């Protein structure tokens, strides 16, 4: 078993002229058969995006120490290495009105190391695993919001990343949709670590083994 996928020690995360996080320490621990699903509850969607961008190597920590998949996220090389090894799914996606659900997931498989036949099998498998096969040929513009989010989750997982980073994916959904999406997240966590940031604490509890709460810029364990 390798090192912990995420280790943060006293990190600060910028958000505009201020900070989304001021002094946070947390980790996603390595374990068998796989890491737990870690949730981080925040009060603003922009804070969730800032943390996911940081863990994905899109941004660098303002201060403190952050290692993701063994890489130092304060370095350009470390962030570049992490970007190739993580999958990111967000509450809102790029506007691709002509694309169908199958096409979105298939696009994700292009980052996986398989031939064309292997990618087709991978696409079909993930669509089935996440209950998206009935929606496979429906344009993204026509699917319900919850299905669109599940499709973006499937596309992120299709690249077979070592770490899945989910930005607000459970926020603003009806309970039945949260439950379905939480089940999908737990299914995918068998193959990769998962960090889920969002504002809905009850939804995070359904999907995550551990939930941390951002209070005054500091991440603390959630009260149970």
**Residues paired with residue 212 on neighbouring β-strands, in sequence order:** 40, 221
Instruction: Give residue 164's pLDDT.
Output: 95
How many Cβ atoms sit within 10 Å of the Cβ of residue 215?
Answer: 11
Kindly tell me if the per-residue pLDDT of 89 is higher than 90. yes
Place of tokens 């604490």: 201
**Residues paired with residue 40 on neighbouring β-strands, in sequence order:** 197, 212
Distance CA 145, CA 124 (A): 21
Q: What confidence tier does 175 reach under pLDDT thresholds 50, 70, 90?
A: very high
- Look up residue 52 and give its two tokens: 């996911």
Please, what are the domains in the chain?
6-85+161-221 (3.40.50.300)
Interacting residues of 82 by C-beta distance below 8 A, sequence separation 6+? 55, 56, 57, 68, 69, 71, 73
3 state SS of 1: coil
Kindly tell me if the per-residue pLDDT of 220 is higher than 80. no
Distance CA 106, CA 120 (A): 7
Question: What's the order of all strands across the beta sheet hosting 18-28?
Answer: 18-28, 6-15, 63-68, 71-72
pLDDT: which is higher, 29 or 131: 131
Tens of pLDDT along 188-215?
888 889 999 999 999 999 999 999 998 7
What does DSSP say about strands 193-198 and 210-215: parallel, antiparallel, or unpaired? unpaired
Instruction: Give residue 1's pLDDT.
Output: 42
Distance CA 147, CA 180 (A): 10
Q: Answer for the pair 105, 155: CB distance below 8 angstroms, yes or no.
A: yes
Tens of pLDDT along 37-70?
999 999 889 999 999 999 999 999 999 999 999 9
Place of tokens 């900070």: 19
Residue range 18-47: mean pLDDT, rounded: 84
Kindly tell me if the per-residue pLDDT of 113 is higher than 50. yes
Distance CA 139, CA 82 (A): 31
Kindly tell me if the per-residue pLDDT of 223 is higher than 60. no
Tens of pLDDT along 124-155?
999 999 999 999 999 999 999 999 999 999 99
């Amino acid at each position: 078993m390798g090192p912990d996928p995420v280790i943060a020690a006293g990190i600060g995360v910028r958000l505009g002229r201020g900070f989304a996080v001021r002094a946070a320490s947390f980790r996603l621990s390595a374990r068998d058969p796989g890491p737990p699903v870690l949730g981080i509850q925040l009060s603003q969607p922009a804070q969730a995006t800032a943390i996911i961008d940081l863990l994905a190597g899109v941004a660098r920590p303002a201060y403190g120490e952050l290692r993701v998949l063994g890489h130092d996220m304060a370095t350009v090389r470390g962030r570049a290495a992490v970007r190739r090894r993580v999958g990111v799914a967000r509450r809102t996606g790029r506007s691709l009105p002509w694309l169908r659900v199958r096409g979105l997931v298939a696009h994700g498989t292009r980052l996986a190391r398989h031939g064309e036949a292997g990618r087709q099998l991978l696409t079909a498998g993930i669509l089935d695993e996440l209950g998206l096969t009935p929606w496979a040929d429906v344009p993204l513009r026509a699917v319900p919001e919850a299905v669109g989010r599940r499709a973006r989750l499937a596309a992120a997982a299709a690249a077979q990343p070592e770490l899945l980073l989910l930005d607000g994916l459970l926020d603003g959904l009806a309970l039945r949709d949260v439950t379905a999406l939480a089940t999908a997240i737990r299914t995918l966590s068998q193959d990769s670590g998962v960090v889920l940031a969002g504002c809905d604490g009850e939804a995070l509890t359904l999907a995550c083994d551990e939930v941390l709460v951002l209070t005054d810029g500091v991440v603390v364990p959630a009260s149970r």
